[in-house]
Amino acid sequence: MTEPLLSIEDLTVTFRTRSESVRAVDGVSFEVYPGETVGVVGESGSGKSVTMLSMLRLLPRTSRVITSGRALLNGKDMLRASRRELRRIRGREVALIPQDPMTCLDPVLRIGGQLGEALRAHSSVSRDEQRKRAVELLASVGLPQPDRQYGQFPHELSGGMRQRVMIAMGMANNPSLLIADEPTTALDVTIQAQVMDILREAQAETQAGLVLITHDLGLIAEMADRVVVMYAGHVVETGEVNAIFAKPRHPYTVGLLGSLPQTGGDQDWLRPIPGSPPDLARIPTGCPFHPRCLHSHGREICRTQLPQLTPIGSDSTHRTACHFSDELADESIHGLLTVAQEIQ
């Protein structure tokens, strides 16, 4: 069996302030294999970005952070890598495509200069070769006039073009893993689709693994092979994309899917999950989802025992953390849960 590219094992990340500790990630484990796309979903604040940023060791240095567990990238534990090793690994083995390219692009440097820097960081190529490769990269992400864009400044490009530049920079050194954190939220719908196509093509060419963090379940359905559902810093369900969409076995996932805009009638509409995510400094006891769960029916075990991520039947790839996931095997319950949401 192929070795995973990335193996996150029991990752816990706690932010300490003077008055409290915020456990943003709690015991998260999942793998990414070469060539596969893993979608990470969950409401705002569920720990998606912190999971990946702590793996990349890119959490702001100003925060007091306590991290435990392991994050093996090609067998190397990123949490214990030296600064020097990190510099080597970032860009060459793993690249981050951020939500907002302006936070990563230097406004006073031309696109070509920034791409050249990314290329130079990991190989000794001549200036001419560098330029050639940079223009090729810009063409490969579908920029209309790559020679021209090479000489332009970030502010001269549209949002979609800047996002493509970020993909080109991410791909510059053919990393084995790409992490895209909400890569298209700032873009309009048609540009979103184009950017995702480009990402998919770039990935197919290099067989890179892709972690796609997004709120957009439609995008997950289209792009992901596997899905990791996060709630309050925990993985609550994971499995093949078809299993998650067709047979979700965690009430939170059922809720997320129920919140998908339904097309039909006069307008799109949303059914929100009742309540809001917990304050991470005061995560509820037992199952963190219990105060909002429409399936708990006040059962004591939900309030007292943290459910562990457990395989469903013989399908070891589909796992869920709910004491009563068996009851969700009966799909008529899904209907009841979404109806209950509707009348909340």
Ligand X SMILES: Nc1ncnc2c1ncn2[C@@H]1O[C@H](COP(=O)(O)OP(=O)(O)OP(=O)(O)O)[C@@H](O)[C@H]1O
Give the interface with ligand SF4 as residue ranges (CB under 6 A): 250-251, 287, 289-290, 293, 295-296, 302, 307, 322-324
Site map 126..145 versus ligand X, x via CB under 6 A: --------------------
In the bound state with ligand X, the residue whose beta carbon lies nearer, of 56 and 115, is: 56
Residues belonging to the chain: 344
Binding site for Mg ion (CB under 5 A): 49
For residue 66, the minimal CB distance to ligand X (Å) is: 12
* Residue 53 neighbours by CB under 8 Å, 6+ apart: 59
* Residue 218 neighbours by CB under 8 Å, 6+ apart: 260
With contacts defined by CB under 6 A, name the span among 40-48, 124-132, 140-148, 166-174 that binds ligand X: 40-48
Residue 333 CB-half CA count within 13 A: 17
In the bound state with Mg ion, the residue whose beta carbon lies nearer, of 111 and 219, is: 219
> Segment 272-331, which members bind ligand X (CB under 6 A)?
280
Q: How far apart are CA 316 and CA 94, in angstroms?
A: 28
For residue 252, the minimal CB distance to ligand SF4 (Å) is: 6
Q: Which position among 3, 10, 63, 156 is part of the footprint of ligand X (CB under 6 A)? A: 63
Q: How far apart are CA 149 and CA 260, in angstroms?
A: 38
For residue 56, the minimal CB distance to ligand SF4 (Å) is: 30
Is residue 39 a contact point for ligand X (CB under 6 A)?
A: no
In the bound state with ligand SF4, the residue whose beta carbon lies nearer, of 55 and 273, is: 273
Is residue 103 a contact point for ligand X (CB under 6 A)?
A: no
DSSP secondary structure of 216-280: -HHHHHHH-SEEEEEETTEEEEEEEHHHHHHS--SHHHHHHHHTSPBP-SSS-B--PPSS-PPPG
In the bound state with Mg ion, the residue whose beta carbon lies nearer, of 49 and 149, is: 49
Is residue 91 a contact point for ligand X (CB under 6 A)?
A: no
Residue 152 CA to chain centroid, in angstroms?
30
CB-based contact 220:241 (threshold 8 Å): yes
With CB under 5 to 8 Å by kind, the binding choice for 192 among ligand X, Mg ion, ligand SF4, none is none
In the bound state with ligand X, the residue whose beta carbon lies nearer, of 22 and 157, is: 22
Which of 214, 288, 241, 257 shows the shortest CA–CA distance to 48? 214
For residue 63, the minimal CB distance to ligand X (Å) is: 4
Is residue 21 a contact point for ligand X (CB under 6 A)?
A: no
CB-based contact 212:228 (threshold 8 Å): no
Which of 224, 221, 209 shows the shortest CA–CA distance to 170? 209
Is residue 44 a contact point for ligand X (CB under 6 A)?
A: yes
For 9, the 3-state DSSP assignment is: strand
Is residue 46 a contact point for ligand X (CB under 6 A)?
A: yes
For residue 303, the minimal CB distance to ligand SF4 (Å) is: 8
Q: How far apart are CA 106 and CA 115, in angstroms?
A: 11
In the bound state with ligand SF4, the residue whose beta carbon lies nearer, of 150 and 289, is: 289
Strand partners, 12: 68
Is residue 24 a contact point for ligand X (CB under 6 A)?
A: yes
For residue 296, the minimal CB distance to ligand SF4 (Å) is: 4
Which residues are at the interface with ligand X (CB under 6 A)? 15, 22, 24, 42, 44-50, 60, 63, 280
